[in-house]
Each structure stands twice: as structure tokens, then as C-alpha cells.
């Protein structure tokens, strides 16, 4: 079974994670914007070939989970890191407010339907983790989920963590490599990006007044993230808390972890046995005789 790639941003597996110790800014000497773009381009080039082998190997699927506060850069990171890959081998899903149909099922149902097939890379822009993040901050949302009564409001989060752990462990045992990224943006940087959305006409469409209202719950969200990452980072489904105040640096870190992970899987193109190779020789003769 896959085990997590080491990184300074790897969330520990022993429940000791403390978000305050994780930086939102890159370390000094991380390189200029131009240098980071070159580094990202190098990883994207490697990912192009690795994706081809992943598809041909047909034993693993990759699931990338992105969670973050608004304006942390999820969409841009997904676009930048996946830009060189074959769209036929990728599938990206953005999960927003659950539909009435989704609310008639357990909280894992809507994402389980979108899991990547073997040989493919799947991306979840938000995920089942919303159920222990936004719903934990706004527990009144539980009232719409048709849960059995009486509802244990204190114990439900531990129950959901257990369900997530079991779900991810099952997927990992069956060949899904799970990488989870928390894009760790500071409150100050989020404010700057919101103001940019208001000031620049081409970014106006990104702005939502509800995003600003959610800033009032910032501390509650930070506590929810800390508890979620602490409870669910495991060697077979690790969390990485990536500094998100500098977008080029953030994208390089995500691309590096994905590239290193694919390289660790010992992927290879299918090997042809002698019997099949003999048929190749026969087919070659037939083609050459045409």
C-alpha cells in the first residue's frame, strides 16, 4: 500500500498537528516568481509522462483532495498543476451545496460516485470533508440531512471522522492513492484577494458577499481544520498543509508531491510475453505485405 511522501508540510499521523506551527508563507530563499514558474513547468512535463504510464499500468488511481478557505487558490492550483495532462485521463469535480437528492443519502455518497477509475487522476475541489468543516461551523445544516433521531450533536464529528478513515483506508487497499491538500492561506492574504476581486473588473465574477460573511467565522474554521487534519492524516491518505499566501510556491509544492508520489509507485508500461510478441511478428509481416 502507498505511503506518504515526506515533506515539510506533511501533517503528522499521531494527532499532534497544530495549525499555528504551519506557515502560510514560503521559506526564505524559495526562489523568484520566474524561477518558480520554471520549476513548475518541469514538474508538469514529468507529470505528462507519468500520467501516460499510470493509465497504461492500470493498477492505481490517484485522488487529489483540495480543501481551503475561500480565495486560497484551489481553482488556480488545479489548473496550473494539471495543465499539461491529457484531459481524457483526468476528472475534476467541484462539490458545492448538496442537492436534495444528495441529502437523501449518507454524506459520502455524492463523492463516492465521482471516484476516479484505475489509471486516472481524479480531483475533488472540496469534498466529503465539508461535512466536518463547514457543517461543524454551521451545525444547523444538520437539520436538512434527514439523520436518525435523536441526533448526537457532540459525538457526530467523531463518528464522521471514523467513517472517513474507514472509507479512505478501503480505497487505499484497493489501489486509490489519496493525497489531501489544505491550502493554508492567512486571513490577511484572503482579505487582500477579496479586495482585488472588488477592484479588478475581470475578477468581479469571483466575488461573493457570502465569502466575506464567512470571514466572521474564521477562528471556528481554523479549529475545525485543525481537528479534521489531526484526526484523518494517515500514511495511506496523508494531509499536506501547503503555504498558500504565495501562489507560485504553493503550486510547485503540490506538483512536487504529486510527481514524487507517482514516481514512488514503480509504474511501468505493460510487458508483452513471448507468445504475444510472436503474434506481433506475424502482424508485422501481414502489414508489410500489404
Q: How far is CA 21 from CA 4, 164, 182, 193, 264, in A?
A: 20, 25, 14, 23, 28
- What are the strands, taking DSSP E only, across 27-167? 61-68, 90-94, 121-125
Mean per-residue pLDDT, 239-248: 98
* pLDDT band (50, 70, 90) for residue 133: very high
pLDDT at 154: 83
In a domain, 12, yes or no: no
Check whether 204 has a pLDDT greater than 90. Answer: no
Would you give the distance in Å from CA 250 to the centre of its chain? 13
Burial class (CB in 10 A: 0-12, 13-18, 19+), 225: buried
Sign of CA dihedral 286, 288, 289, 290: positive
pLDDT above 90 (res 254): yes
Residues 85, 249: Cα–Cα separation, whole Å:
20
pLDDT at 276: 80
Q: What is the mean pLDDT of the chain?
A: 94
Residue 255 resides in a domain: yes
The answer, yes or no, to whether residue 22 has pLDDT greater than 90, is yes
Q: Which pTM does this prediction carry?
A: 0.94
Structure confidence at residue 65 as a pLDDT band (50, 70, 90): very high
Q: Does residue 14 form part of some domain?
A: no
In a domain, 214, yes or no: yes
Q: Which domain holds residue 183?
A: 19-289
CA–CA distance, 31 with 111 (Å, rounded to integer): 37
Dist CA 132 CA 139 (whole Å): 10
- Rounded CA-CA distance 57/51 in Å is 10
220's enclosing H/E stretch is helix 218-232
Q: How many CA atoms lie within 13 A of 49 on its CB side?
A: 6
Domain count, the chain: 1
Q: What is the CATH number for 31?
A: 3.40.50.300
Query: Would 194 be classed as within a structural domain?
Result: yes
Q: Cα angle at 261 between 167 and 23, to 5 degrees?
A: 85
Is 172 a domain residue? yes
Measure Cα distances from 166 to 60, 151, 152, 186, 243 in Å.
19, 22, 20, 31, 28
In a domain, 264, yes or no: yes
Residues 211-243: tens digit of each pLDDT? 788 899 999 999 999 999 999 999 999 999 999
Q: Is residue 151 part of a domain?
A: yes
Amino acid at each position: 500500500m502507498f505511503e506518504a511522501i515526506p515533506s515539510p508540510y506533511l501533517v503528522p499521523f499521531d494527532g499532534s498537528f497544530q495549525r499555528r506551527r504551519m506557515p502560510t508563507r514560503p521559506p526564505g530563499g524559495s526562489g523568484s516568481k520566474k524561477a518558480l514558474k520554471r520549476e513548475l513547468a518541469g514538474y508538469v512535463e514529468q507529470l505528462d509522462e507519468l500520467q501516460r504510464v499510470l493509465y497504461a499500468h492500470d493498477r492505481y488511481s490517484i485522488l487529489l483532495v483540495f480543501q481551503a478557505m475561500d480565495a486560497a487558490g484551489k481553482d488556480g492550483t488545479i489548473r496550473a498543476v494539471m495543465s499539461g495532462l491529457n484531459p481524457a485521463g483526468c476528472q475534476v469535480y467541484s462539490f458545492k451545496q448538496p442537492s436534495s437528492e444528495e441529502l437523501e443519502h449518507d454524506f459520502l455518497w455524492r463523492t463516492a460516485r465521482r471516484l476516479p477509475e484505475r489509471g486516472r487522476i481524479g480531483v475533488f475541489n472540496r469534498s466529503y470533508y465539508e461535512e466536518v468543516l463547514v457543517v461543524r461551523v454551521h451545525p444547523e445544516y444538520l437539520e436538512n440531512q434527514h439523520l436518525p433521531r435523536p441526533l448526537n450533536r457532540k459525538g457526530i464529528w467523531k463518528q464522521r471522522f471514523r467513517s472517513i478513515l474507514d472509507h479512505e483506508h478501503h480505497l487505499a487497499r484497493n489501489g486509490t492513492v489519496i493525497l489531501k491538500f489544505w491550502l493554508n492561506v492567512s486571513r490577511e492574504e484572503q482579505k487582500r484577494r477579496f479586495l482585488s476581486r472588488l477592484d479588478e473588473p475581470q475578477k468581479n465574477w469571483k466575488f461573493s458577499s457570502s465569502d466575506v460573511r464567512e470571514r466572521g467565522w474564521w477562528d471556528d474554521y481554523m479549529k475545525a481544520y485543525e481537528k479534521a487534519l489531526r484526526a484523518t492524516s494517515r500514511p495511506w491518505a496523508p494531509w499536506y498543509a501547503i503555504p498558500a499566501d504565495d501562489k507560485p510556491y504553493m503550486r510547485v509544492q503540490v506538483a512536487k508531491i504529486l510527481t514524487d508520489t507517482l514516481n514512488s509507485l514503480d509504474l511501468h508500461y505493460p510487458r508483452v510475453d513471448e507468445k504475444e510478441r510472436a503474434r506481433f511478428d506475424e502482424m508485422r509481416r501481414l502489414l508489410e505485405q500489404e
